Amino acid sequence: MTAATAPRTARPSRPPRSLIGPLALLIFAAITWWAASEEFGLNFDVPRLFTNLTRGAGILAEFWPPDFSVLPRTVGPMLETVQMAIIASLIGCALALPIAFLASRVTSPNLTTYVIDRGVLSVVRALPDVLYALIFVAALSIGPLPGILALILFNIAVVAKLLSETVDGVDRGPIEAARATGAGRLLTVRWAVLPQVLPHYVAYSLYAFELNIRASAVLGIVGAGGIGNLINEFRRFFQYDALAVVVLEILVLVIIVEWISIWLRRRLV
């Protein structure tokens, strides 16, 4: 009743519908069609995905049961993988910290530094870690060192990018307060910005460590140390039951690292 008698004020007229949404959807669909089509793309169709899958069943069956007799041989390379990830994460993430501050508009001392730093980061990120590993293996011979160098570059690229974007979003109030006390730029970053982004930085670093363990499985295939060497060997000699052991080990390792990082993050935030 009150609703019927309440005075009705003029409603604003609806703004014209934007065509950007539907248009974007259309363009997206066209691009997908281009990638999958018979004429221009990969001639991809879903049913074939399943028929081909059953063809691999024979090979998949060879993974079972895992041949645990190779376990002792995997311990050394597995340990090397973890050690590579630890060293690369420590160095890479430490270097990423100052680079991230120079790559944020909030903390970069001037536009030139900002643009150069961002540019370098984009270039570093442009190449995948396996390519870096290939280059370093060519330059330094095989072993864990080229793998570590590749992972360091990878970590700088990932952590500095994520962290610089987090820095862009910090509360500017404490920065103004620090400037008002006469503190210089470095100490302003240390005391007004770093405490704000520290939990994020730790989380990103732990994430980088996880990625490093995974990545070193691939890096070994090009000769850059770690468990990958062994994966490559088992694969070449069709020892799929031995390969299954390595797959399980990586799975367990990554889950353990994930648990540790969840526990640490909860403690920090």
Partner 1 sequence: MIRFENASVTYPGGVHALKDLTLQIPDGQMMVIVGLSGAGKSTLIRAINGLVPLSSGDVLIDDVSVRHAKPKQLREIRSRIGMIFQTFNLVNRTTVLNNVLMGRLHGAGTLRSLLAWYKPEDVEIAMRALERVGIVEKAYVRASNLSGGQQQRVGIARALAQEPKIILADEPVASLDPPTSHVVMRDLQRINRELNMTTIVNLHFLDLAKVYGERIIGMRAGELVYDGTGAQADEHVFRDIYGRSLTADDMLGEAAAAG
Q: Rule CB under 8 A: which residues touch partner 1?
A: 171, 173-174, 176-184, 186-187, 190-192, 195-196, 198-199
Query: Token digits for 160?
Result: 């500095």
Q: Which is nearer to partner 1, 93 or 227 (CB)?
A: 93
Between 98 and 143, whose beta carbon lies closer to partner 1?
Answer: 98
Cβ closest to partner 1, residue 27 vs residue 186? 186
The minimum distance between CB 260 and partner 1, in angstroms, equals: 22
Tokens of 25: 């959807």
Distance of CA 102 to CAs 134, 161, 166, 191, Å?
29, 11, 13, 16
Nearer to partner 1 by C-beta: 48 or 105? 105
In the complex with partner 1, the residue whose CB is nearer, 72 or 173, is 173
Angle at 181 between CA 180 and CA 186, to 5 degrees: 95
Closest separation in Å from C-beta 95 to partner 1: 17
Smallest distance from the beta carbon of 91 to partner 1, in angstroms?
Answer: 20
Q: How far is the CB of 109 from partner 1 (least distance, A)?
A: 11
* Among 182, 137, 146, 189, residue whose Cα is nearest residue 167: 189
CB of 179 vs partner 1, minimal distance in Å: 7
Query: Helix H segments across the chain?
Result: 2-5, 20-36, 46-55, 57-62, 71-102, 111-126, 129-140, 144-168, 173-180, 185-188, 194-219, 228-236, 240-268
Task: Using the minimum distance from each CB to partner 1, give the nearer residue, 58 or 173.
Answer: 173
- HSE-CB at 95 with a 13 A cutoff on CA atoms is 17
CB of 193 to partner 1, least distance (A): 9
Nearest approach, Cβ of 224 to partner 1 (angstroms)?
35
Q: 226: alpha, beta or left, given left = phi > 0 and alpha = psi -120 to 50? A: left
Look-up: residue for tokens 């994460």? 89
Q: Given the complex with partner 1, which of 143 and 174 has the nearer CB atom?
A: 174
Number of other residues whose CB lies within 10 A of the CB of residue 11? 6
